[in-house]
Amino acid sequence: MIRSLQILVYFALYFTVFVFAAWALVDALTRPAGAFVSAGKRTKNFWLAVTGAATAVAFVAIPAPIGLGAFSFLALAAAVGGIVYLVDVRPAVRPYSGRRGRGQGGGGKSPRGGW
C-alpha cells in the first residue's frame, strides 16, 4: 500500500516537472525573437535550447510505462530550466510579444513603463 502511494507521488512529481518544461517550451516557441532582445534576455534560440532540453530530460525521467525512468537525477536541472523561463523570462518578454493579454489591451502597462 505505501509502496504504491510512493510510486504515485514519484510519478506525479516527475510528470509535473515535464508539464512545466513543456509549457515553457511551447511559450518560447510562440514568442517573437525580437521580444527576447528587447526584454534584455538571452536569444530565443538559447531559450528554445534550454526549454527543449529540459522537456526532453523531464520526459525521459518520468517513470515507466509513460517515460523511461532514466536520468531521474537530471530532472532537477529540467525543473530549474523550465521554472526560470516561466518565472523570469516569460514575464519580461510578454510586453514585447505584440499580443493582447487577458482581453484588456495588454494588461494596462505599456512596455515602456507608462499607463
**Whole-number pLDDT of residue 92:** 95
User: What distance in Å separates the CA atoms of residue 37 and residue 40, rounded to the nearest whole number?
Assistant: 5
| Per-residue pLDDT reduced to its tens digit, 61-109 | 888 777 677 778 889 999 999 999 999 999 999 999 876 554 444 454 5
Full-model pTM: 0.78
* Cell of residue 98, nine digits: 505584440
Please state, in angstroms and as integers, the Cα–Cα distance from residue 17 to each residue in 70, 79, 105, following that order.
14, 5, 32
- CB neighbours of residue 21 within 10 Å: 29
